[in-house]
Every structure is written in C-alpha cells, then in structure tokens.
C-alpha cells in the first residue's frame, strides 16, 4: 500500500490520480475533510481506504506504521502562506513531518515529501544550497526547518527525498480559494468581470512583469513518480521548470484560451511589501543530474491543459 497524506488536496489528489493511471489503487489517503468540498478531488479516484489525519497521527505515534506500506508520499501541510500562527505552522509542517520520517526510517519505508520554493524568499539564488535559503514568512521557515532536519540525517539508509515545489497550478485546486494559483484567480476574474487584475510594478519590475517559475501539476506528478520508482535516490531537489515567466504571460494565456478579455493593473498592496517573491526560477540541475530528463510545460501549454480539464469536468458534471 502507498500512503498519500494530504491526498484529498490539490497536489495530493493529482498524485492519487496519476497512481491510478498506472494501475495503482492500493492507496491510503490521509487528510482532513473539515472542508467537505474536497471530496470532489477524490470522487473519480480509486483508493483502498481513507483516514482522518488526526486519527492517523495518533495511531502512528502509538504503534508506528502498519505492515505492508510501500511508500509514503507526504503532501499534507498547512499551506496558507498568510498564516502567522507559528505554533500551528510548526506543528503541522515540521513536527508531523518529523514523526512520519522516523516511522519510515524505522521500517525502511521510502519517504517522499513536499518542501517549497518559499524557503528561498526573494532570492536571488534558487539552487538547493543553504546560502540561498532566506524565507519571508513562517510557512517558508517551517518547510526550511524540516529540510535542515533531513540534511542532518546524512545517509538515512532508506529513501528520504524532498521536492521544493515552485508555483504549482492545475486541476483540483478550487478548494484552496485565496491560496489557489494565479491561473485559477485569473480565470475567475475573467468570467466574472471580463478582465484580469495584476499588480502594478514592484521591486524594479514593470506592471505585471513580476516573474515566477510556474509549473503544471501534471509535471509535478511525473517528478514525484519518477522519484518513487528510484528508491535509491535521496536528497532535496527543486521541482520547477527552470524557466521564469511573467504574470502577464499567465494572464495572456488565460485570455487567449477564452478568446477575449483585458488586463487591468492594480496598486501593489502595502501588506505584501518585503514579503513577496517578485522573481523565482528553479535551478533544476540537481533534478536533471538525478536522471529526470522529461520536458516541462510552458505557461502557455500548461494553462491551456488546465482550462481544458476544467471545461471537461464541467461537461462531465452537467
């Protein structure tokens, strides 16, 4: 059995679906369905079982992992980058991860977990190097703290692998609302108002020209499954495209798919000054050196695939 924590969430449910597509259905999803709308992310997936995250954690700390676990894909976390409750953030993103890690090490179970590009803060370096790690919020710090813990393990004896996700977008993210990708927000704005709203220039970038490494969730799933198939591979790797594109590029891709719309630039919020990543671009040399040689979708390709999937879901549910 493969355990996917956060398996009803955005990336987790896409991983469950990707596992299904290659014939895997012996999957235990661990999540929190206080937000019951997340059920829709699993409705078309085949899983063996579901367990609430609190019940799973209690059982884990009492008895360890059950027998027969082939791997854990740990995607569960508090992902609200605007959350400043440090106790909550460190418990969910650091302590829970540490508990899972040691349970896996005890039974030699491969452990692949979600880290984040937020550990790099405003850059300018985006390679997997401690010199580049300067998080801007407690979410980024919680992810960095666990990465540092993993680094101190040295050679753990079984697979321990972290993936620093850059700006992921794609199907099954609607439940995230404010924390959903800009592609999701731009689509909603366009449908409601006929326009897409972007920030005016900041940090030396022109209007809408702030640039991020946007990666389609299908590409993330391919990276995770590549690592799952190579239990000898451990370490911390960036999971991005290696190519920064502007918010204007995302907006234009959304408008192009819909066939109409305009862009309006709005003032940059004071609350985000000094806490905003105006530029990210993954150094993917480590991932490439590990043998992952598949191409990544551009924003134009990924946004089209995303909106095609949303359209197809709407048609199927009509």
Strand 160-165 and strand 211-212: the pairing is: unpaired
111 closest CA partner among 24, 227, 284, 203 = 227
Taking the C-alpha atoms of residue 35 and residue 31, their distance in angstroms, rounded to an integer, is 10
Q: Are 46 and 109 in contact (CB under 8 A)?
A: no
Strands 211-212 and 245-246, bridge-based pairing: antiparallel
E strands in the chain: 2-5, 27-31, 49-52, 71-74, 111-116, 160-165, 167-169, 195-199, 211-212, 214-216, 235-239, 245-246, 262-266
53 assigned to active site: no
Asked if residue 216 lies in contact with residue 170, where contact means CB atoms within 8 angstroms, the answer is yes
DSSP, collapsed to helix, strand or coil, labels residue 297 as: coil
* Active-site option among 50, 176, 205, 276: 176
> Active site residue: 139, 165, 169, 306, which one?
139
176 carries an active-site annotation: yes
Q: In the chain, count of helices (H) and strands (E)? A: 10, 13
What are the catalytic residues? 139, 176
């Amino acid at each position: 059995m493969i355990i996917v924590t956060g398996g009803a969430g955005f990336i987790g449910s896409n991983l469950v679906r990707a596992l299904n597509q290659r014939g895997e259905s012996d999957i235990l999803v661990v999540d929190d369905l206080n937000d019951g709308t997340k059920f829709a992310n699993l409705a078309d997936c085949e899983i063996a079982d579901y367990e609430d995250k609190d019940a799973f954690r209690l059982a884990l700390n009492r008895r360890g992992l059950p027998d027969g676990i082939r791997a854990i894909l740990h995607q569960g976390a508090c992902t609200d980058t605007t959350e400043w409750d440090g106790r909550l953030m460190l418990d969910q993103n650091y302590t829970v991860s540490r508990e899972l890690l040691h349970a896996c090490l005890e039974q030699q179970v491969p452990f692949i977990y979600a880290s984040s590009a937020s550990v790099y803060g405003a850059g300018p370096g985006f390679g997997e190097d401690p010199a580049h790690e300067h998080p801007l919020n407690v979410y980024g710090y919680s992810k960095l703290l666990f990465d540092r813990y993993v680094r101190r393990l040295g050679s753990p004896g079984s697979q321990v692998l972290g993936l620093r996700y850059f700006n992921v977008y794609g199907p099954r993210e609607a439940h995230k609302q404010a924390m959903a990708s800009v592609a999701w927000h731009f689509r909603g704005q366009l449908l409601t108002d006929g326009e897409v709203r972007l920030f005016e220039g900041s940090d030396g970038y022109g209007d809408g020209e702030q640039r991020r490494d946007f990666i389609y969730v299908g590409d993330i799933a391919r990276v995770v499954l590549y690592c799952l198939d190579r239990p000898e591979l451990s370490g911390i790797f960036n999971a991005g495209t290696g190519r920064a594109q502007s918010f204007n590029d995302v907006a234009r891709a959304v408008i192009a798919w819909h066939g109409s719309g305009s862009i309006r630039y709005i003032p940059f919020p004071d609350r985000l000054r000094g806490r905003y990543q105006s530029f990210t671009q993954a150094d993917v040399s480590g991932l490439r050196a590990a043998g992952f040689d598949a191409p990544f979708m551009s924003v134009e390709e990924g946004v089209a695939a995303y909106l095609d999937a949303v359209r197809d879901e709407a048609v199927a549910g009509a």
